[in-house]
Amino acid sequence: MKQDIKSMNLPELEEAMKALGEPKYRARQVFTWLHRGAKTFEDMTNLSRSLRARLDEAFYISVPTVERKQVSARDGTIKYLWRLRDGNCVETVLMRYKYGNTVCVSSEVGCAMGCAFCASTLGGLVRRLTAGEILDQVLFTGLDSGLPVSRVVMMGIGEPLDNFDAVTRFLELVNHPDGLNLSMRHISLSTCGLTERIDKLASLHLQLTLSVSLHAPDDETRNGIMPVNRSCGVDKLLETCRRYDAETGRRISYEYAMIDGVNDTPRHAELLCEKLRGMGAHVNLIPLNNVEESPLKPSTKEHVRRFRETLERAGIPATVRRSLGGDIDASCGQLRRKQILERR
Ligand code: SAH
């Protein structure tokens, strides 16, 4: 069985070189090639032929292929469906903002969390991605599009904190000066709220932005749309968030998908204000994206406006997320879902 070389960090590559009887600096050469998107060891022309052959015997290089690619005529958003080594597919979206091109990556094939409004979870969790496979999405989206990538959001398919080790390893790789060298401050990670893992993440003191998918201020509403809430309610989640803030000095941003008649009433808005007061929280209101299989509908513009005003009156900054790529199924597992259904 060949080993996955792209998921290795520099110290591990140095160990591997040592085991092959090679000098330590070779590791950095290989690392640099991998992070520039080299697809074969053959391409690594500053290594001897014999070393390239020995690497090829022991390791494989993950290389996703473009299964589908859609470019939005409206705003230039590009959505990729990547086919992985084992045939599974994941989505990556490139969004073009004034402040830089942002890549939204998937962390898992499918998702086990079961949120009622989300297309990614409809077929359950198939498997977790490796660190290299998460990195590949950033790398090959940049290479294929020819666009420089300056920010990464972990808001694609999957629950990043359910794949903790691969995700934190990916962060180490993508941040590495000999690799893509992306600043942690340009990375956001979104979670449905796995509290023990949020504590574990806090202990790493990373300077990334943590987003928590709150979507409701009370257990009754949140239990109804997010099964994860049944094992840990809203109050315990927000306590964990306060600990995260204190431990890392980084404020959390809260996502709130607005669902007509479910979580968008004045009572929900007021309760949310009460729960977030004094936390320095920022709330991102996202009008729900329609998912064909789900009866849930987006809130009206009027209700979104009313909700936002209530938050602002309470001194809680709130923004309404601008929707990009609406013409290309560019959200939340929709393209992978379409592919699976068409294959049947
Ligand atoms: N598992 C992580 C990240 C994945 S999704 C999480 O739960 O945060 C990124 C964001 O999109 C989450 O806030 C998620 O709740 C939200 N989302 C999922 N489906 C959606 C939909 N149909 N409309 C709007 N937002 C949605």
**6-38, pLDDT tens digit by residue?**
999 999 999 999 999 999 999 999 999 999 999
Region 137-158: mean pLDDT is 97
Q: Which atom of ligand 1 is nearest to the CA of 190?
A: 8
Q: Please give the Cα distance from 219 to 324 (Å, whole number).
A: 31
Q: What is the pLDDT of residue 330?
A: 58
Q: Which atom of ligand 1 is nearest to the CA of 289?
A: 23
Out of 155, 259, 322, 335, mutate this one to test ligand 1's pocket (max ligand atoms within 8 Å of CB): namely: 155
Per-residue pLDDT for 235 more than 80? yes
User: CB within 6 Å of ligand 1 — which residues?
Assistant: 115, 117-118, 155, 159, 190-192, 213, 255, 257, 286, 288-289, 291, 332
pLDDT band of 336, cuts 50, 70, 90: confident
Q: Which atom of ligand 1 is nearest to the CA of 119?
A: 19
**Nearest residue (CA) to ligand 1, atom 15:** 213
- d(CA 133, ligand 1 centre) in Å: 21
DSSP letter at 283? E
**Nearest residue (CA) to ligand 1, atom 14:** 213
CB contact burial 110-141 (16+ within 10 A = b; e otherwise): bbebebbbbbbbbeebbebbbbbbbbbbbbbb
Per-residue pLDDT for 243 more than 80? yes
Out of 213, 214, 299, mutate this one to test ligand 1's pocket (max ligand atoms within 8 Å of CB): namely: 213
- d(CA 170, ligand 1 centre) in Å: 21
Tens of pLDDT, residues 75-99: 999 999 999 999 999 999 999 998 8
pLDDT band of 323, cuts 50, 70, 90: confident
SS3 253: strand
Q: Name the residues annotated as catalytic.
A: 91, 332
The answer to whether 150 touches 102, Cβ cutoff 8 Å, is yes
| Residue given tokens 């077929």 in the structure block | 123
Q: Please give the Cα distance from 263 to 119 (Å, whole number).
A: 19
Quickly count helices (H) and strands (E) in the chain.
11, 14
**Nearest residue (CA) to ligand 1, atom 22:** 289
Q: Please give the Cα distance from 80 to 90 (Å, whole number).
A: 8
Q: Please give the Cα distance from 96 to 220 (Å, whole number).
A: 37
**Nearest residue (CA) to ligand 1, atom 8:** 191
pTM for this one? 0.96
Portion of the chain with pLDDT greater than 90, in percent: 89
Q: What is the pLDDT of residue 88?
A: 98
Residues whose CB falls within 8 Å of the CB of residue 4, separated by 6 or more in sequence, listed in order:
59, 60, 62, 130, 132
Region 189-194: mean pLDDT is 98
- d(CA 343, ligand 1 centre) in Å: 25
Q: Please give the Cα distance from 161 to 210 (Å, whole number).
A: 11
Q: What is the pLDDT of residue 292?
A: 84
Q: Are strands 65-71 and 108-110 parallel, antiparallel or unpaired?
A: unpaired
The answer to whether 80 touches 141, Cβ cutoff 8 Å, is yes
SS3 312: helix
Tens of pLDDT, residues 33-70: 999 999 999 999 999 999 999 999 999 999 999 999 99
**Nearest residue (CA) to ligand 1, atom 13:** 213
Q: Which atom of ligand 1 is nearest to the CA of 212?
A: 8
Q: Which of 36-50, 80-94, 190-204, 316-330 has the lowest mean pLDDT?
A: 316-330
Q: What is the pLDDT of residue 321?
A: 82
- Kindly list the strands in the beta sheet with 151-154, ordered across the sheet, starting from the edge strand earlier in the chain: 65-71, 78-83, 89-97, 100-104, 151-154, 187-191, 209-213, 253-258, 282-287, 318-320
- d(CA 98, ligand 1 centre) in Å: 23
Cα→Cα distances 162→98, 157, 198, Å: 32, 12, 11
- d(CA 104, ligand 1 centre) in Å: 12
Q: What is the pLDDT of residue 332?
A: 56
Out of 109, 255, 262, 329, mutate this one to test ligand 1's pocket (max ligand atoms within 8 Å of CB): namely: 255
Cα→Cα distances 189→29, 78, 298, 299, Å: 30, 20, 24, 25
**Nearest residue (CA) to ligand 1, atom 3:** 155
* Helix, strand, coil distribution of the chain in percent, nearest 5: 40, 20, 40
- d(CA 118, ligand 1 centre) in Å: 6
Nearest to 62 by CA among 2, 10, 18, 9: 2
- d(CA 9, ligand 1 centre) in Å: 30
**Nearest residue (CA) to ligand 1, atom 9:** 155
Region 243-254: mean pLDDT is 96
Per-residue pLDDT for 111 more than 90? yes
Q: Which atom of ligand 1 is nearest to the CA of 298?
A: 23
Q: Which atom of ligand 1 is nearest to the CA of 226?
A: 15
